[in-house]
Amino acid sequence: MIPLYTAEQVRSIDERAIRDLGYPSIVLMENAARSIYRLVGERYVDYGGAPVGFLCGKGNNGGDGFALARHARVNGFPVVVVMFGEEDDLSEDARVNYRILRNLAEDDPDVTIKRHQSAADLRPLKRCGMIFDAMLGTGAKGALREPYKSVVETVNKLAAVKVAVDSPTGLDVDLGSGDAIFKADFTVTLGGLKRGLFFADGFANAGEVVKGGIGVSDEFFEKFDVEDHLIEPEDVLFALPEKAPDIHKYRAGKALTIAGSAQYPGAAILTASATLRAGAGATVLAFPKSAPHPSASSYPELVVERYDDGGAGYPTPDAYDKLRERVVWADAVALGPGIGRAEETAEFVTRYLNDERRPFTVLDADGLFPLNDGAYRDVNLKNVALTPHYGEFARLLGADLDDLKKDLLAAGREFVKETGANLILKGPRTIVFQPSGESLINPVGNSGMAKFGMGDVLTGAIAGFAAQCEYQEDAMMIGVYLHSLAGDLLRGRRSEFGFSASEVVEALPDALLFLRDSVENDGKL
């Protein structure tokens, strides 16, 4: 697991380095600038000779920018610096680096420094091939104010490569949210990886994120209690359930899928087939008897059991009595995709959740609907993993979606603390919240997975691994990661436009093989 830190935790490391180790703060700033310059040079090794632009604020983030501009000029690049405020407004270390750059500019026409007073001062940036954002860094909280808001909106429209120094301006790196945010292609974050760069607005605006150094050992970070982590490939590989030489099908995991209806038969097949491709030894799909038989010809191994639904075409409370023996038989259950939103179905879901003998359950899609507007408080959600996307989570809580997105981590933690459930919050970067208070952020997946049926496949994959794993936390991590990795493999073969949910099912074994080969042979993906 890769630990993710808050802005305050990283700031305290700076303070400790100054206080306990005797580092002058200006040395930490110089170390940061050197590290950023090196990492950007390695990433953009083919960058030409176009001028490099720098947006420099008043604080130490701006000081990093002034120092970076100096390094760029010393290495032969013309530089354009737009600064905010007067010299006297700058922090002490920023002022030192500004004065060095100003002295260089006196005899060098390729060093341009402009103080921002209007939009006209941004025009020289149009000739830059790369622009560094060193305006506010990690200290910004709340809505971005002027002039920074207008500057961000203007610069985001330019064609230059954009690099954020520590954090894109406008992003709250603790919350992962913001209003107007600098749209970076590459972010070098200093000291420790900040959690808000990896999900929601942070993921959408930070681009590729790498860690830069300030000259302090990683051991300084070990004292912190960290609640948030990025999943690493090794974590997934080592969490996979073992297939013992003498294993048989029932010891290899019994997975039950309760999904589909007369209206949505495809959801049942997608979910159940994913349990199969996840390696469960015995996979059963429970499907309404009065609904047309789901087309499972591609999966002859999948056992389809038709339960008496009284002609409804969807699960009803009475149907649960007929299914209960199979529920108790299972090691894990996938419940919800395509079952519909009839009142009787809602009663079925409630009865199921309150059954003390039910196994670990992955609850998704229509299975979440009866719990909306706080109704989840009336059912037992222990030993359940709910898999809503942002909108579904807002409806569960009876909350405004925009308000929820301002602090997803807090909302997710509060939910699992209140319910004892596990929460898999689906998004461009899915977050797994555990009752322990920890959250795991999934670093893989792509925009081609924003299609019908992808959530059904995820539900089945998690249930399939849960039927086999000793620890359900492992099953959730494995299912989330491999589901997204399968999508990434398909994007590489067919682009983000050209693959479907059913193909993700088929690519799950490929993802596992790719993971195993990558970790065992390279140590990385």
Identify the CA nearest to 105 among candidates 131, 145, 69, 59.
69
- C-alpha triplet 448, 449, 455: angle, nearest 5°: 165
Which amino acid would we find at residue 244? A
The owner of tokens 């809503």 is 388
* Residue 140 pLDDT: 76
Question: What does residue 448 show for φ and ψ, rounded to 5 degrees?
Answer: -70, -10
88's CB contacts (< 8 A; 6+ apart) are none
What is the DSSP track for 365-376? GGGTGGGTTTGG
- Are residues 507 and 444 in contact, defined by beta-carbon separation less than 8 angstroms? no
pTM (whole model) above 0.75: yes
Q: Taking 80 as the threshold, does the pLDDT of residue 221 lie above it?
A: no
Alpha-carbon span 158 to 345, nearest angstrom: 52
Integer-rounded Cα radius of gyration of the chain: 26
The angle, 0 to 180 degrees and rounded to 10, between the axes of the packed helices 60-74 and 25-43 is 50
Q: How confident is the model at residue 246 (pLDDT cuts 50, 70, 90)?
A: confident
Alpha-carbon span 282 to 284, nearest angstrom: 7
Alpha-carbon span 296 to 269, nearest angstrom: 7
Q: Taking 90 as the threshold, does the pLDDT of residue 63 lie above it?
A: yes
Q: What is the DSSP letter of 389?
A: B
Query: Structure tokens of 157?
Result: 């429209």
CA dihedral sign of residues 366, 430, 359, 260: positive
pLDDT tens string 427-442: 999 999 999 999 999 9
- Are residues 337 and 271 in contact, defined by beta-carbon separation less than 8 angstroms? yes
CA dihedral sign of residues 456, 365, 427, 523: negative
* Residue 298 pLDDT: 72
- Are residues 504 and 512 in contact, defined by beta-carbon separation less than 8 angstroms? no
Which alpha helices (H) appear in 338-471, and where do they start and end?
343-353, 390-397, 401-405, 408-419, 454-466
pLDDT tens string 277-293: 999 999 999 999 999 88
Alpha-carbon span 55 to 66, nearest angstrom: 9
- Are residues 257 and 460 in contact, defined by beta-carbon separation less than 8 angstroms? yes
Q: What is the mean pLDDT of the chain?
A: 94
Q: How confident is the model at residue 148 (pLDDT cuts 50, 70, 90)?
A: very high
Mean pLDDT, residues 18-41 taken together: 91
Query: Structure tokens of 265?
Result: 């038969």
288's CB contacts (< 8 A; 6+ apart) are 260, 261, 262, 306, 307, 309, 312, 313, 314, 315, 319
* Residue 477 pLDDT: 98
What is the DSSP track for 8-46? HHHHHHHHHHHHHS---HHHHHHHHHHHHHHHHHHHTTT
The angle, 0 to 180 degrees and rounded to 10, between the axes of the packed helices 92-106 and 25-43 is 60
Measured CA to CA in angstroms, residue 291 lies from 204, 265, 275, 359 at distances of: 42, 8, 22, 26
pLDDT tens string 311-359: 999 999 999 999 999 999 999 999 999 999 999 999 999 999 999 999 9
Burial of 147 (0-12, 13-18, 19+ CB in 10 A): middle
* Residue 435 pLDDT: 92
Mean pLDDT, residues 246-267 taken together: 92
Query: Structure tokens of 408?
Result: 């997803």
Task: Give the neighbor-by-neighbor strand order of the sheet with 161-165.
Answer: 111-115, 79-83, 52-56, 130-134, 161-165, 186-190, 208-212
* Residue 210 pLDDT: 97
Mean pLDDT, residues 465-494 taken together: 97
Alpha-carbon span 525 to 522, nearest angstrom: 7
Alpha-carbon span 345 to 309, nearest angstrom: 10
- Are residues 365 and 456 in contact, defined by beta-carbon separation less than 8 angstroms? yes
